[in-house]
Amino acid sequence: MWHAGERLGFLALDSVTHEKHWTDDDIALLRTAAEIFSNAIAREHNEREREALQARLNQSQRLEAIGTLAGGIAHEFNNILGAVLGYSEMALAVLLKESRARRYVQQIMKAGRRAQDVTEQILAFSRRRERQHHALRAQPVVAEAVDLLRASFPATLSVEKHLAAADAAMMGDPTELQQVVMNLCTNAAQSMNNRGVLKIGLGMTELVEAQVLSHGNLPAGRYLRLAVGDIGSGMDQATLERIFEPFFTTKPAGQGTGLGLSTVHGIVAAHRGAVDVKSQLGEGTTFEIYFPQIESAAIQDEDEGEGTEVPIQYGNGETILVVDDDTPLMQLAEEMLAALGYEPVGFDRSPAALSAFRTDPERFDLVLTDEVMPDMTGVEFSGKLHEIRSDLPIVRMTGYGRPLRSRQLTAAGISEVIKKPLLSTAVAQCLARHLHSG
């Protein structure tokens, strides 16, 4: 039986007791029957394929919607953390070293930083975090992550490492690549109750044609393939369809946030990669992560400049225009700048700030502006200031905004982008770069 030039099967007759002489009409009838059968088989095959593609589309749309929601929540959460961490840092600066209150505030800072890590994972999933990808060798980064993991795993868990990527390079963030390795390995270890064999592999592969994976599509090309396999409990199809949703977890309450695999999904998507998950109940799971491979010609030294501490430089009364629609954060920035020796002028509405600037453009030495604001974005606001005074340093604050191209920042007169939540040390260093550089 043939369909569209492809053989689908054979039509056979049984129970023939003596030699049969087939007439032309018999052969034509059999051919018609074979065509009917082959068309029916092809329709069923196409229907199954359509349902599989529709399921992948629905999953992709669901993850995208959840990512948008998660990114918005993380932005608001970042604003709250900004006040918690900022005021805690300022309180530590005035509390006595051995006081009980100082110990309490230190615990608040510690909890706030843990909450900030969770926010970072949500932003990584939703792909709303600013990233600075550059060429890097994947093998040393993965090897370092595996060594760190080995030190934390119990003796009952054996780690088999097979890294064969040599000097192969990719565009990415080494911290995020390590986060992918750690999240996948931690998940695998937990699925085996920290007993058994955990396999970690890194190699190179070349696809001569596009492939559809369980969670993403890959065009033809050269890739780095990271594989993490376990011999744990495995997953059923229903679980496989939800594993990358944030806050989805099969662990008991209190034993997992449900953000590990969603973070992996966000990081891989941001690196233009894809994920292939293979799992069998009772037999274990293997995650294969594919990252596009690049030429390893101009890889910068990752360790260059590490270990040098930049001392805090205080201001000399310079006037800083601060714009943030979140009033408590604007007030916090004012207090922080005043403590650093600057003269802050804060506004929680960009039109009012623009009006004050137009009245006396030379009054201000630098502008510190939020990005996400109701009347106009930070880039739009900065562009209007830049038109009035092109030599003014402008620093953009962002909690989650999507990355902008450098030419967009340059056109708006933005000198630097700093990340929320703001801490005194980072703010002081940023302002010193633009006001005390000679």
Is-contact 423 85, C-beta < 8 A? yes
Task: Name 221's Cβ contacts closer than 8 Å, sequence gap at least 6.
Answer: 206, 207, 292, 293
Q: Please give the model's pTM, rounded to 2 decimal places.
A: 0.50
Question: Could you read off the pLDDT of 96-150 as tens digits, one per residue?
Answer: 888 889 888 888 888 887 777 667 666 655 555 555 678 889 999 899 888 878 8
The closest of 330, 372, 362, 329 to 347, measured between CA atoms, is 330
Residue 16 predicted with pLDDT over 80 = no
DSSP-derived secondary structure for 193-222:
TT-EEEEEEEEEEEESS-EEETBEEE-SEE
Residue 122 has what pLDDT?
A: 64
Most confident of 34-38, 251-255, 269-273, 405-409: 269-273
Residue 347 predicted with pLDDT over 70 = yes
User: Residue-wise over 335-361: b if at least 16 C-beta within 10 A, else e?
Assistant: ebbebbebbbbbbbbbeebbebbeeee
Residue 304 has what pLDDT?
A: 42
Is-contact 197 231, C-beta < 8 A? yes
Residue 390 has what pLDDT?
A: 92
Query: Domains, the chain, ranges and CATH?
Result: 20-129 (1.10.287), 134-294 (3.30.565.10), 319-435 (3.40.50.2300)
Question: Could you read off the pLDDT of 202-218 as tens digits, one per residue?
Answer: 999 999 998 888 888 88
Task: Name 40's Cβ contacts closer than 8 Å, sequence gap at least 6.
Answer: none
Question: How far is Cα 36 from Cα 353, in angstroms, rounded to an integer?
Answer: 75
In the chain, pLDDT over 90 holds for what percent of residues? 27
- Residue whose pair of structure tokens reads 């007439």 in the numeric block: 23
Residue of higher predicted confidence among 44 and 124: 44
User: Across the strands, what pairs with 204?
Assistant: 224
Reported confidence tier of residue 308, pLDDT bands at 50, 70, 90: very low
Show the tokens assigned to 353.
């700030």
Average pLDDT value for residue range 369-389: 91
Is-contact 199 157, C-beta < 8 A? no
Reported confidence tier of residue 234, pLDDT bands at 50, 70, 90: confident
What single-letter amino acid sits at 279? S
Reported confidence tier of residue 431, pLDDT bands at 50, 70, 90: very high
20-24, 234-238, 292-296, 302-306: the lowest-pLDDT one: 302-306
Residue of higher predicted confidence among 27 and 229: 229
Question: Could you read off the pLDDT of 50-87 as tens digits, one per residue?
Answer: 877 777 666 666 666 666 666 667 777 777 888 888 88
Residue 254 has what pLDDT?
A: 44
Residue 151 has what pLDDT?
A: 75
The strand pair at 366-370 and 319-323 is best described as parallel
